DNA sequence: GCCAACGTTGGC
DNA sequence: GCCAACGTTGGC
């Protein structure tokens, strides 16, 4: 099972919105690399949800419930979306500052590629983040 | 509000 | 196919 991280503007679509709508369509991705990652997602994969903007922190955990399909929000059928369902909010959100301050995350895409909105997360990094959040699966 | 780090567009 | 100009994202 792979692990991922997706970014969202909380004013547009927050983790709380995902909690209230299980199986939400995660759409609107308009970047080729991010699309590649969306398409590589498998049912049951775990996904961290990160809030950009003022928050800049990982706030929740979700899972993939439907693999990639054509993004209905685009007039052109070239983009992809998946369906996600929230698992639980993190007990203690993990801030970008926390992640950046820890040398073990030096190679993490969250640190290295700030503009990438959908990215794979190494198992070790995922476990560390989960541990930092004080959250039990 | 600024700017670095991208991605995209269009002229050549 | 290259690259300058421009637009966007997201951190600071």
Assess whether A122 (CB) lies less than 7 A from strand B: no
Assess whether A33 (CB) lies less than 7 A from strand B: yes
**Helix, strand, coil abundance in chain A, percent, nearest 5:** 25, 35, 40
Q: How far, in Å, is the CA of A36 from the C1' of nucleotide B10?
A: 26
Tell me which residue of A96, A85, A106, A93 sits closest to A41, measured CA to CA: A85
Q: How far, in Å, is the CA of A74 from the C1' of nucleotide B10?
A: 24
Nearest nucleotide from residue A34 CA, by C1' atom: B7
Nucleic chain C contacts, protein chain A, residues 89-108, CB cut-off 7 A: 96-97, 100
The whole-number mean pLDDT for each consecutive block of 10 residues of chain A, a chain of 137 residues, reads 96 96 96 95 98 97 97 91 98 97 96 96 97 94
Strand C: positions under 7 A of a protein C-beta atom: 8-12
For residue A88, the tally of other CB atoms under 10 A from its CB is: 13
User: In this complex, which residue's CA is closest to the C1' atom of nucleotide C11?
Assistant: A114
Instruction: Supply the pLDDT for residue A48.
Output: 98
Assess whether A114 (CB) lies less than 7 A from strand B: yes
Instruction: Supply the pLDDT for residue A76.
Output: 86
Instruction: Supply the pLDDT for residue A123.
Output: 97
What does the alpha-carbon distance between residue A77 and residue A74 come to, in Å, rounded to a whole number? Answer: 7
Burial of A55 (0-12, 13-18, 19+ CB in 10 A): middle
């Amino acid at each position: 099972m792979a692990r991922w991280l997706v970014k969202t503007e909380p004013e547009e679509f927050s983790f709380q919105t995902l909690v209230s709508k299980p199986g939400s369509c995660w759409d609107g991705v308009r970047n080729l690399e991010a699309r590649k990652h969306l398409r590589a997602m498998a049912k049951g994969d775990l996904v961290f949800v990160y809030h950009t903007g003022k928050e800049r922190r990982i706030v929740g955990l979700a899972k993939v419930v439907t693999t990639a399909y054509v993004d209905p929000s685009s007039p052109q059928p070239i983009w992809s979306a998946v369906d996600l369902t929230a698992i639980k909010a993190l007990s203690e959100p993990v801030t970008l500052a926390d992640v950046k301050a820890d040398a073990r995350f030096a190679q993490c895409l969250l640190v290295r590629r700030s503009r990438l909105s959908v990215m794979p997360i190494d198992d070790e990094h995922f476990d560390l983040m989960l541990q930092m959040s004080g959250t039990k699966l």
